[in-house]
């Protein structure tokens, strides 16, 4: 403390007591590391020590547009070479692949410095380039083809992003054409012809669902579950064993939705399918944990997979056009986010969702992440004040 007393005397500042000086030094010792600790908390990516970005083997299911496309682009921008792009629209996938290659080259030259892909000798057995797989994940043979291609070219996988999905925009009665609020008629489903003829019973103010309306509801439910639930189950079944046995730190990310957790008017089919998808994903994660523990005493050891899901609100993309129950125009669909979301900061950009999803995997995150932050509060308030959340949902969808 002698040097401090000398400094204070030189500055003509009264020398404080020893206790005050000790307290000040203690606070200094505590506070100085805080910025470093805060920075580490927000920017540390410990998974990269096990799976470096330039060696990570990634498959993006649903990479042709929206958030899936942005995830692929951001992996490429940070130098990842082994990216499998999967989707049903082959031409769009090729366009995404070309853009990824341009971004990857830029990342290798400027962003990754001496840790860019190729700074040391890569594994010659692993293909150092993107692959494009045109496939429908609701078809078992297509899912097997995805798995075999990844095994052949990448000798396994480290990261899986499940980004595919279908939406639905009508209230349940609206699909059958008996919604008394939005009178849009029976939903016209692409490629579907009901076997029943429409009933002429009813009045101008109220209708009971006829056989044609019920057939349309049943087909809509089948279609949305085939993609959101069945396809998710197929890819998890096909890819989990490969992840467990070929990656030092495997991870699976599910692009879910807040509709899986909070009921919203006009989103009954979509919310139900996403809730089933999320529970399927989370329960499979628990089963995978048990499989890892059981493999410790066997010759085929299975590494633990981290399961992580994002629960975004409305994403400003073309996702609504995938609705199984008709276009947004024919459904008279309303979402206040689309009219004033940008002004209020309510709508989410695909790039933002992609960035936070990748960061979460890099940080060993598990569980779920609500986006934007207000939905974190909404999920926890709902069990205690369901009426308040319901009122906000009615306002958002104007129904």
> Which residues have CB under 8 Å from 201's CB, separation 6+?
207, 208, 210
Residue 275 sits in the same domain as residue 370? yes
Banded pLDDT at 86 (limits 50, 70, 90): very high
Q: What is the mean pLDDT of residues 41-68?
A: 89
Residue 9 sits in the same domain as residue 139? no
3-state secondary structure of 116: coil
Residue 27 sits in the same domain as residue 121? no
Is the model more confident about 113 or about 17? Answer: 17
Q: Whole-model pTM?
A: 0.86
- The answer as to whether 61 is a domain residue is yes
Quote helix, strand, coil % in the chain, to nearest 5: 55, 10, 35
- The answer as to whether 142 is a domain residue is yes
Banded pLDDT at 113 (limits 50, 70, 90): very low
Neighbours of 360 (CB within 10 A): 21
- The answer to whether 291 and 244 are in contact (CB under 8 A) is yes
Residue 154 sits in the same domain as residue 247? yes
Strands (E), 113-242: 131-134, 159-162
Residue-wise pLDDT for 209-236, tens only, equals 888 889 999 999 999 999 999 999 999 9
Angle between helices 336-344 and 386-397 (to 10 degrees): 100
Banded pLDDT at 7 (limits 50, 70, 90): low
Residue 27 sits in the same domain as residue 52? no
Residue 298 sits in the same domain as residue 388? yes
Look up residue 173 and give its two tokens. 């009665």
Q: What is the mean pLDDT of residues 122-134?
A: 84
Residue 135 sits in the same domain as residue 280? yes
Look up residue 218 and give its two tokens. 């049943």
Residue 280 sits in the same domain as residue 384? yes
Percent of the chain with pLDDT strictly greater than 70 = 84
Look up residue 90 and give its two tokens. 């082959």
Question: Looking at the predicted structure, is the pLDDT value of residue 385 above 90?
Answer: yes
DSSP annotation of 348 reads B
Q: Rounded to the nearest 5 degrees, what angle is found at the Cα of 311, between the Cα atoms of 307 and 315?
A: 130
CATH number, domain containing residue 99: 3.40.50.720
- The answer as to whether 349 is a domain residue is yes
Residue-wise pLDDT for 246-304, tens only, equals 999 999 999 999 999 999 999 999 999 999 999 999 999 999 999 999 988 888 889 99
Residue 140 sits in the same domain as residue 260? yes
- The answer as to whether 336 is a domain residue is yes
Residue 122 sits in the same domain as residue 253? yes
Q: Which of 45-54, 128-137, 162-171, 265-274 has the lowest mean pLDDT?
A: 45-54
Task: Give the structural domain span for 24.
Answer: 2-32
- The answer as to whether 130 is a domain residue is yes
Neighbours of 35 (CB within 10 A): 9
The separation between the first and the last C-alpha atoms of the chain, rounded to the nearest angstrom, is 70
Question: Looking at the predicted structure, is the pLDDT value of residue 310 above 60?
Answer: yes
Neighbours of 186 (CB within 10 A): 21
DSSP annotation of 364 reads T
- The answer as to whether 215 is a domain residue is no
Region of 312 on the Ramachandran plot (φ > 0 left; ψ -120 to 50 alpha; else beta): beta
Query: Measuring CA to CA, how many Å separate 333 from each of 65, 179, 392?
Result: 21, 13, 17
Query: Distance between CA atoms of 135 and 146, rounded to whole angstroms?
Result: 8
Residue 24 sits in the same domain as residue 99? no
What is the count of structural domains for the chain?
A: 2
- The answer as to whether 348 is a domain residue is yes
Residue 23 sits in the same domain as residue 107? no
Map tokens 């994903």 to a residue. Answer: 281
Residue-wise pLDDT for 138-164, tens only, equals 999 999 999 999 999 999 999 999 999
Question: Looking at the predicted structure, is the pLDDT value of residue 202 above 50?
Answer: no
Question: Looking at the predicted structure, is the pLDDT value of residue 124 above 80?
Answer: no
Q: What is the mean pLDDT of residues 390-397?
A: 93
Residue 375 CB burial class (10 angstroms; 0-12, 13-18, ≥19)? middle
Beta-sheet pairing, 251-255 with 367-371: unpaired
Map tokens 């399961």 to a residue. Answer: 307
- The answer as to whether 157 is a domain residue is yes
Mean pLDDT (the chain, rounded): 87
């Amino acid at each position: 403390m002698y040097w401090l007393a000398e400094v204070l005397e030189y500055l003509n500042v009264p020398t404080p007591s020893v206790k005050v000086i000790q307290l000040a030094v203690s606070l200094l010792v505590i506070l100085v590391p805080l910025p470093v600790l805060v920075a580490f908390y927000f920017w540390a990516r410990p998974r990269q020590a096990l799976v470096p970005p330039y060696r990570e083997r990634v498959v993006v299911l649903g990479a042709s547009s929206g958030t899936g496309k942005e995830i692929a682009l951001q992996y490429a921008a940070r130098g990842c070479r082994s990216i499998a792009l999967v989707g049903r629209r082959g031409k769009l996938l090729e366009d995404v692949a070309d853009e990824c290659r341009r971004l990857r080259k830029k990342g290798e030259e400027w962003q990754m410095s001496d840790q860019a892909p190729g700074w040391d000798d890569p594994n010659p057995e692993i293909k150092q380039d993107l692959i494009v797989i045109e496939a429908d994940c609701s078809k078992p043979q297509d899912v097997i083809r995805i798995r075999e291609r990844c095994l052949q070219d990448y000798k396994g996988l480290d990261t899986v992003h499940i980004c595919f999905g279908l939406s639905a925009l009508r209230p349940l009665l609206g699909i059958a054409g008996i919604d008394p609020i939005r009178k849009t008629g029976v939903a016209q489903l692409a490629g579907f012809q009901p076997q029943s003829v429409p009933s002429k019973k009813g009045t101008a103010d109220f209708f009971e669902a006829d056989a044609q309306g019920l057939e349309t509801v049943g087909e809509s439910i089948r279609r949305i579950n085939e993609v959101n639930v069945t396809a998710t189950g197929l890819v998890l079944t096909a890819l989990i064993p490969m992840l467990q046995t070929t990656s030092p730190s495997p991870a699976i990310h599910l692009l879910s939705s807040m509709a899986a957790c909070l009921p919203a008017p006009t989103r009954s089919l979509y919310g139900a399918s996403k809730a089933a998808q999320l529970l399927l994903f989370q329960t499979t994660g628990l089963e995978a944990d048990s499989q890892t523990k059981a493999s410790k005493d066997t010759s085929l050891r299975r590494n633990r997979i981290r399961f992580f899901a994002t629960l975004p609100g409305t994403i400003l993309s073309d996702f609504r056009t995938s609705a199984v129950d008709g276009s947004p125009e024919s459904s008279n669909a309303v979402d206040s986010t689309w009219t004033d979301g940008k002004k209020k900061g309510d709508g989410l950009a695909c790039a933002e969702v992609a960035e936070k999803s990748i960061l979460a995997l890099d940080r060993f995150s598990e569980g779920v992440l609500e986006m934007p932050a207000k939905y974190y509060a909404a999920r926890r308030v709902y069990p205690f004040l369901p009426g308040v959340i319901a009122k906000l949902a009615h306002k958002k969808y104007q129904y």
